[in-house]
Structure 1
Amino acid sequence: MPKDIRYETETFWQVFGTGERPALAIHCMLGSSEMWGGVLAPMADTLTTTAFDLPGHGQSAPWDAAGAAPGAYQTLATRIAASFIERPVDLIGHSFGASVALRIAVGAPQAIRSLTLIEPVLFAAAKGSPEWEELRPHQDHLDALLAAGEQEEAARRFMRDWGAGAPWETLPEKLRTRFIAQMPIIENVTPANFEDPGGICRAGGMEGIEAPVMLIRGDQSPKIVAATCDAIAARLADVGTAVVPGAGHMLPLTHMPQVSELIAMNIERS
């Protein structure tokens, strides 16, 4: 499985499927490219999908947050993701990965054949909504923990809200240690989620995406996700939305067959 230097970052990736259509899949915070294997398996004859590990995740090199401008991580992830696109692709992203995918689609709509956004966390799209106002104090508390160096408690709270539902104490020690070490990345990404320094929400940006878009969320996810999906969908020319019953934020892992079917449906529309 290949690994090379992309934007001064040693980046690992793997390829799923052997189909004629090129695709690119971008995983969530604290995840890795491994999560896409089962989701993409039913489309192996249709897609050849590149899935890479974000900096500081999986088998890619660590990322040093010291001195980085707020939101810089999203810019780096977007540049690395875009470096894998050579011709129009079916672009798939989950959570933070969905925000990166949307940023690419806004910046280069001609590079996108279809766009599937699973639980995007671009909360700036819903800024000022009741859901945004409700979430902000919780995020302020998480930010305070991170600023105080309380990395373990921050990781515990983050996984409680955005994990797959397993209690922190039941996670393997190796995983807990890794999540704690990745908290500086979460700290840097927060401004990208809430304030959108990359300009994804700029006037006319999402409206310029002509490729079919599918927005997927779970009905058990934090309320801000529904508000974010609704706000994004309202600005798109060709969009479908889907809500998976009983699913939370990590539905690519917990509700794999449903997510696979919805991705396939969107691909068939392009």
Structure 2
Amino acid sequence: MLQTLHRSKTPSGASYVDHGTGEEILVLIHGVGMRIEAWGPQIEQLSKGHRVIAVDLPGHGFSAPLDARPELPNFVVWFARLVDELGFDAVNVAGHSMGALIAAGFAATMPLKLRRVALLNGVYKRTPTARQAVEARAEEIFSGAFDREAPLERWFSSDEKDGAAYRLVRELLQKVDAGGYAAAYRAFATGDAVYSDCWPQVARPALFLTGDGDKNSTAEMAEEMARAAPEGRAVVVKGHRHMVNLTAPEEVSEALADWLTWQPAQ
């Protein structure tokens, strides 16, 4: 059974949790269909030495729906407003999947507010075939007649289906608001190339992490983004797929903790 975390809300209706203390402020953004609880292991581990903020995407969890067209730049504007409402001058941002696209957009458009950026299972310049497939899924989801079980087949291997991570993600997919899910997925499906050329200009420590079994957010994508970013590094977790922060929580939390100590080259 899902254990709901105690949340607060910004004036504009964004739901978030705030744990820990420290000089480094880390903001976590989950993926489509998930909510703050999908970051549970990272909140627990990283808040021991840092202040960790985790947010519900618009129309997910307890956040108000997006008040604009379902396009990636509008999600980036939403996130930048949240950072302003929380009163932060600059933050470290880590996003998973759709959250990774938002994190990339924040890095591209708000460089003065960024200390470090981490993309977990981020997509980057999909092939035409992959883009066609994800856009077809977006249209199906937007129609309201979509299969909430289908993502599990892509996100988990067969030997992970008896685990706690699988059960949590399945429950979150069953609970997510259909309209919020559809809006975020449409932005996700059309957003992989919006900020894809930003990385040469992002002069901040940038981590690109994925699982070697993730066929949509591939190791090659992570490595290509890392090569493009002046301060980029790629981490590929062996034997895991899309929900790597839940299926390999210790390894992912350790990679994030290490990233939070990186200093940009002078």
TM-score normalized with structure 1 length: 0.79
Q: 2:133 aligns with which of 138, 141, 157?
A: 138
After TM superposition, give the deviation of residue 236 of structure 1 in Å.
Answer: 0.3
Q: 1:261 aligns with which of 245, 254, 263?
A: 254
Retained in 2: the 8 A contact 1:12–1:52? Answer: yes
Could you say what secondary structure the match of 1:151 adopts? coil
Work out the CA distance in 1 between the residues paired with 2:73 and 2:118.
24
Work out the CA distance in 1 between the residues paired with 2:136 and 2:258.
39
Match of 1:201 in 2: 196
Which amino acid in the other structure matches residue 174 of structure 2? R
After TM superposition, give the deviation of residue 211 of structure 1 in Å.
Answer: 1.5
Retained in 1: the 8 A contact 2:135–2:189? Answer: no
Aligned pair count?
250
Retained in 2: the 8 A contact 1:17–1:41? Answer: no
Q: 1:16 aligns with which of 19, 36, 51?
A: 19
Could you say what secondary structure the match of 1:268 adopts? coil
After TM superposition, give the deviation of residue 172 of structure 1 in Å.
Answer: 6.6
Work out the CA distance in 1 between the residues paired with 2:60 and 2:201.
32
TM-score normalized with structure 2 length: 0.80
Match of 1:5 in 2: 11
After TM superposition, give the deviation of residue 33 of structure 1 in Å.
Answer: 1.5
Work out the CA distance in 2 between the residues paired with 1:105 and 1:233.
14
Which amino acid in the other structure matches residue 238 of structure 1? E
Unaligned runs of 5+ in 2: 1-6
Q: 2:146 aligns with which of 148, 152, 158?
A: 152
After TM superposition, give the deviation of residue 182 of structure 1 in Å.
Answer: 4.2
Q: 1:59 aligns with which of 59, 62, 71?
A: 62
Could you say what secondary structure the match of 1:59 adopts? coil
Alpha-carbon displacement from aligned partner over 1:55-85 (angstroms, at most 9, x marks no partner): 11111124478xx364465344433444346
Match of 1:236 in 2: 229
Q: 1:267 to 1:70 in 2, by over 3 A?
A: closer
Match of 2:206 in 1: 213
Which amino acid in the other structure matches residue 14 of structure 1? V
Match of 1:161 in 2: 154
Q: 1:141 to 1:185 in 2, by over 3 A?
A: same
Work out the CA distance in 2 between the residues paired with 1:86 and 1:173.
33
Alpha-carbon displacement from aligned partner over 1:19-51 (angstroms, at most 9, x marks no partner): 232221111111112222321323324210111
Could you say what secondary structure the match of 1:234 adopts? helix
Q: 1:109 aligns with which of 105, 111, 124?
A: 111
Q: How much is the aligned-residue C-alpha RMSD, in angstroms? A: 3.0
Unaligned runs of 5+ in 1: none
Q: 1:134 to 1:59 in 2, by over 3 A?
A: same
Work out the CA distance in 2 between the residues paired with 1:85 and 1:219.
37
Decide which moves more: 176-185 or 224-233: 176-185
| Same amino acid, percent of matched pairs | 22
Q: 1:194 to 1:50 in 2, by over 3 A?
A: closer
